[in-house]
Amino acid sequence: GIQVEQSPPDLILQEGANSTLRCNFSDSVNNLQWFHQNPWGQLINLFYIPSGTKQNGRLSATTVATERYSLLYISSSQTTDSGVYFCAVDSGGSNYKLTFGKGTLLTVNP
Amino acid sequence: NAGVMQNPRHLVRRRGQEARLRCSPMKGHSHVYWYRQLPEEGLKFMVYLQKENIIDESGMPKERFSAEFPKEGPSILRIQQVVRGDSAAYFCASHRGLAGNTIYFGEGSWLTVV
């Protein structure tokens, strides 16, 4: 099946810093989503981005489908950005089944 | 505009008991998915259902686990004779069923087996 690799596995930032999280995937995809799992365990949709670039406030994402990677940018980080960021892709076909990466654990210190 | 609703949020069961987790998809969504997150791991697909049909159960353990999505009411994930290794967060997700649409996740149900 499709492989999803995220880097870095862990990241520690000071409040106000910027960061880039990367997601590599091993095959073409129809769906790519970024999620934030907060310290309470809730899984929050950030972006649906199988290709192109999107921005939402301090967060933006870019997927280069031909090169099989996606980047999540966090600018001016805040302590509330802490948590695990997951990239998930579908495995093709029509069932929209997502394969998740292992995530990047982000800690933003005040 | 309610999202994907899961209950209970937290469930404690003794070994050997049954656990039932419920999921109501977003309004207008006819596709439901269950995922499991074991401690320190990402989410793993378990099962994909449409109303009254199991479409893909390739991620379901062969024994003790079952899922349904009846014509009326929520989707149910049922775990019989729970063991400690079943302790995990179980997430439900729903999708409208059209290409190019986001899959939305519920807040999860945390099962603890003691």
Q: Tokens 């069961």 correspond to what residue?
A: B13
Residue B85 is predicted with a pLDDT of 94
Q: What type of residue is B96?
A: R
- Contact residues, chain B, for A50 at CB < 8 Å: 100
The CA distance from B50 to B31, in Å, is: 5
- pLDDT tens across A52-88, in order? 999 999 999 999 999 999 999 999 999 999 999 999 9
Which residue of chain B has the CA closest to A4?
B42
The CA distance from B6 to B26, in Å, is: 11
The CA distance from A18 to A103, in Å, is: 18
Q: Which of B56, B89, B102 is nearest residue A95 as measured by Cβ atoms? A: B56
DSSP A59: E
Residue A95 is predicted with a pLDDT of 61
CB A32 within 8 A of CB A88: yes
Who contacts A67 (Cβ-Cβ below 8 Å, separation ≥6)? none
pLDDT category at A93 given cuts 50, 70, 90 is low
Whether A96 and B103 lie within 8 Å, measured CB to CB: yes
pLDDT category at B101 given cuts 50, 70, 90 is confident
* Length reported for chain A: 110
Q: Please check the confidence at residue B67 and state whether its pLDDT lies above 90.
A: yes
Q: Please check the confidence at residue A40 and state whether its pLDDT lies above 80.
A: yes
Cα dihedral sign for B45, B51, B56, B61? positive
pLDDT category at A92 given cuts 50, 70, 90 is low
Residue B98 is predicted with a pLDDT of 74
